Structure 1
């Protein structure tokens, strides 16, 4: 953005209707706080600085607002709630630094597209002094209407004050306003509070500007772009829209989703081309999946790297720190945490691999557990390339299994196993002929006695 633009983001509101113990803007969509979505869009649009008006949980809100971009954030405290006009004036000193444009955004409206913000600035640069983002509402009930005449915006009329004719208008106020940096403070200070609530409404800036002979216009964005959040139900609605957009982008980039509506993505999910995702898969933050990998149904991934051509699941859980190389297979009902698994290694069934390094081509049998926790500390298990761990084995860390070593099924391994060695750590089998028949007869006799006595 060639022009200098300041974003003033209003994020001081309480979470009363959210019925939450934390600020509304700290609630998440796509596993990213609402406020971070807003500041990220502002940064992507090219703003030079963000004045963040904070109140409740000020430090946490400011920290979240800095996520994912390097645009400077300047928090300012709003201790009293006197309306949106009053909130923007909290940033007066920052506005006074001098910017071509000032755009007002809302910390609880995370869907705003950077292109819509650029469009507003473009309209400003073409000669408008005030630009309001509006949308065509499927149901305009409750929204302020944008009143236009001869191609200019003449007023923003709240529903309770609108005439019957004005109520027929479906072009509604989205709340986001861009105005001249040179005029900003003068316009804001002219906003009065002569209304039923005694508050200073930012929307009054339109009529104030027109009274001064300034040009006001409204431009259209999508209704989805303008979605705001006041309740948990609205938060869920925004999540649905965000997920739909994220899935659509992924599929256009070359990802196959068998049942897209059942796949949950996070804000930073990275999926290579030709990745296939089966139904009911959840991607938490910090997941990167290489090309042509297959994520089978009902798998849960978080903080994980999956290499190209890997096979995950079904019903697999990859926890933070799981780092899987190419062609790795993690099968059904397996869990991997803080473990590096080498190329072509297999963890097939019902296994837990935690705090481990597994070499290329190793095979981990069904039911194998790395016993990594002693009640106080975590310990490392190292399994060499080409090693074979028999089913139902317990590897008690810290322990090393050498390259090409073989651990017999059912073993509890507590000592290192050299490369190419065979380790069997279980009791010797004893077979006693006829003993099963006598044991069964004894058990049946006890059962019959209990039934006879009624106990």
Structure 2
């Protein structure tokens, strides 16, 4: 993947998220990460009371969403129409959960945008990340959002590195990406639209759209 292919418009269809006003301003999607909290507060205060229930000061839940009693909703949360937040999910803070999305048992969210129809259904950790329309993370797959050396995260594209200036940055996962069970998306990972990640993968850098990621250095192009 070249730098140009990591741009917001190349990864996401913005018709499928309430975050469109913010993401339209971002050449690269990770530029939105420091602004998710402010976006949620701005959106939340404009959501129609006829459609959304306000819980506490900074949590808005669509009246058609199903939220299990054991789920934890922290600060600055929007849960969209027909979304499902299952048993013991932990929405820590700054989470925009799209229409029809599924947040599963024991899944933790922190500083994320989940587009419509995203599924993070079993034991997932998603932090400082953006998951595109109909993206799916298999059971136990996670985004790792801090480098072990604690240095700033870079995005490693084919034609050079992109400096993000961020210490916390998980993954940018494009529309309709399938992440296999038990996989780790390392800090600064960018996955193009319609790609598949094999189970138990450790993904670093960028993955082209329409690809099958088998392991580091072994990526095949998908064919119809």
The TM-score range, normalised by the shorter chain, is 0.5 to 0.7
In the alignment, which residue of structure 2 is the partner of 1:190? none
Instruction: Give structure 1 regions of 4+ aligned residues with deviation exceeding 6 angstroms.
Output: none
Q: 1:424 aligns with which of 205, 214, 222?
A: 214
Cα deviation digits, residues 189-230 of structure 1 (max 9, x gap): xxxxxxxxxxxxxxxxxxxxxxxxxxxxxxxxxxxxxxxxxx
Aligned runs of 1:44-59 on 2, under 5 Å?
none
In structure 1, distance between residues paired with 2:140 and 2:60: 27
Does structure 1 residue 410 correspond to structure 2 residue 183? Answer: no
In structure 2, C-alpha distance between the alignment counterparts of 1:420 and 1:391, rounded to whole Å? 19
State the alpha-carbon separation in 1 of the partners of residues 137 and 131 from structure 2.
Answer: 9
Offset at 1:273? 5.2
| Greater strand content | 2
Provide the C-alpha distance between the structure 2 equivalents of 1:307 and 1:392, rounded to a whole number of angstroms.
27
Q: Which has the higher helix share?
A: 1
Q: How does 1:152-171 map to 2 (within 5 A)?
A: none
TM-score (norm 1): 0.32
Alignment RMSD (CA, Å):
2.4
Q: What does 1:143-182 align with in structure 2 at a 5 Å threshold?
A: none
* 1:315 equivalent in alignment to 2:84: no
Q: Which position in structure 2 is the counterpart of 1:149?
A: none
Q: CA deviation at 1:367?
A: 0.5
5+ long unaligned stretches in structure 1: 1-269, 276-282, 427-455
* 1:80-118 C-alpha deviation (Å, 9 max, x unpaired): xxxxxxxxxxxxxxxxxxxxxxxxxxxxxxxxxxxxxxx
In the aligned structure 1, how far is the partner of 2:181 from the partner of 2:87?
19
Distance of 1:271 and 1:287 partners within structure 2: 12
Q: 1:341 aligns with which of 111, 114, 117?
A: 114
Partner of 2:155: none
In 1, Cα distance between equivalents of 2:62 and 2:82:
7
Provide the rounded CA distance (Å) in 2 between the counterparts of 1:287 and 1:274.
10
CA distance 1:272–1:336, shift in 2 (3 Å): farther
Pick aligned residue for 2:187 from 397, 410, 433: 397
Query: Residues 56-103 of structure 1, C-alpha deviation per residue, up to 9 Å, x if partnerless?
Result: xxxxxxxxxxxxxxxxxxxxxxxxxxxxxxxxxxxxxxxxxxxxxxxx
Q: C-alpha offsets along residues 367-403 of structure 1, whole Å, 9 cap, x if unaligned?
A: 1110101235212410011100000000002010111
Residue from 168, 172, 182 that aligns with 1:378? 168
State yes or no: 1:356 paired with 2:129.
Answer: yes
- Pairing 1:197-208 to 2, within 5 Å after superposition: none
Return the index of the structure with the highest Cα Rg.
1
Deviation of 1:424 after TM superposition, in Å, equals 1.7
Separation of aligned partners in 2, 1:271 and 1:419: 39
Structure 1 position 415, deviation (Å): 2.1
Q: Say if 1:402 and 1:305 are closer, same or farther in 2 by CA, change over 3 A.
A: same
Hey, what does 2:6 align to over in structure 1? none
**Offset, 1:271:** 7.6
| Paired position in structure 2 for 1:125 | none
| Aligned residues of 1:271 and 1:290 also touching (Cα < 8 A) | no
- What residue in structure 1 maps to residue 58 of structure 2? 286
1:271–1:288 CA contact under 8 A, matched in 2:
no
Alpha-carbon distance in 2 for matches of 1:324, 1:339: 8
Alignment partner of 1:388 is 2:178 = yes
Mark the CA change 1:350 to 1:273 in structure 2 (over 3 Å): closer, same or farther. same
C-alpha separation in 1, matches of 2:183 and 2:87: 22
Change (3 A) 1:356 1:272: farther
